[in-house]
Amino acid sequence: MIKRKSFGSDNHAGAHPSVLRMLADANAGDELPYGADSWSERAAAELRTMFGASGAFFVFNGTGANILGLSLLLRPIDAVICPQTAHINVDECGACERVLGIKLLPVDVGDGKLTPDVIADRLGERGDEHRPQPRVVAISQVTEFGTCYTLDELGKLSGFCRANDLLLYMDGARLANAAAYLGCELAELAAHADVLSFGGTKNGAIGAEAIVVMREDITAAVPFHRKQLLQLGSKMRFVAAQFLALLTDELWLSNARHANAMARRLADRIGGLPTVEIRQPVESNAVFAALNPDQITSLQQDWRFHLWDEQDHVVRLMTAFDTTEADVDEFAAAISAAARG
């Protein structure tokens, strides 16, 4: 076990006790398999209502969610415009390219956010049969830099996509954190996408993500895609039950709000230190900070965090639903002590 509370990733956290209790409840008795169970039906219905969606389908992990979600929007000749830093581009081992057989068109945007202008720059090869055809724009909300697209930015993106015959996919592995930060409904975020994912794993589940489909015309095909892409479990009730726990009394929102508040607290504690420079706006549960290289080496002996950019000495410090104020204060004190050498 990791000794102190990890700031390496929200994936390092365990599961929320309510999720474990709901799994025990779901274990009682027999149920129909392959998502035909009452747990899946209830959880999917709740998600459809919350998102104003045509369909909601459970999957095991975020990479699987992205592959399934994108598969619904792409033809073999199509390409996906995404930021260079997108999880689908750098952290999924080329799954999109291998499994979907399509080309990603990564755009180098310093802050990890796409804008209509940078997308427009990638459309020049449309109509050239020698080039894959840009068809989908993929964004992450929260971005890989821990920042959030505002509703206004999303409106500009979705407006541009609709006007230019592009589809919008939203990787919502941390959508809960974005909704918590922006103080908006999930439906307000989803309204800008054709398909999106809604993450549970980083927010208190063991392994549960959902694909939310906003377009009626593709919803009927989803079960077939999910099965082909290996994301249909026979005992799907245990994935759905995790979501039902997160949906009960808006646990998803309180977990995300708490994780965000802990990141804010950490940034406030360390932001004023002379050797620390906060590099990204803190808009979710991540703090990106440049530290002095010796400080990083010294902290690494006792603490877990992610060295994001070795050259620039930038670290990513992540909080989770179960990070406590005491954890943050202890870590901040260690960062401060390491700064003194």
Ligand X SMILES: Cc1ncc(COP(=O)(O)O)c(C=O)c1O
Instruction: List residues binding ligand X (CB under 6 A).
Output: 61-63, 87, 140, 144, 171, 173, 201
Structure tokens belonging to residue 86: 């997108």
Query: 168: which strand partners?
Result: 137
Sign of CA dihedral 268, 272, 274, 277: positive
C-alpha dist (Å) from residue 37 to 66, 201, 269: 24, 21, 47
Task: Write down the least CB distance from residue 202 to ligand X, Å.
Answer: 7
Identify which of residues 14 and 293 has a Cβ nearer to ligand X in the complex: 14
Q: Which is nearer to ligand X, 194 or 209 (CB)?
A: 209
Pairing, β 78-83 against β 133-140: parallel
Q: Least CB distance from residue 130 to ligand X, whole Å? A: 31
Q: How far is the CB of 89 from ligand X (least distance, A)?
A: 11
Please identify the residue of the shown chain whose CB is closest to the bound ligand X: 62
Nearer to ligand X, 55 or 62 (CB): 62
User: What span, in angstroms and rounded, lies between the C-alpha atoms of 267 and 20?
Assistant: 31
CA gap 278, 271 in Å, rounded: 6
Minimum Å gap between C-beta 308 and ligand X is 13
Q: Is 274 exposed, middle or buried (0-12, 13-18, 19+ CB in 10 A)?
A: exposed
Pick the closer one to ligand X by CB: 138 or 161: 138
Choice between 47 and 173, CB closer to ligand X:
173
CA distances from 140 to 14, 30, 274, 291 (A): 23, 38, 32, 26
Name the minimum Å distance from CB 304 to ligand X. Answer: 15
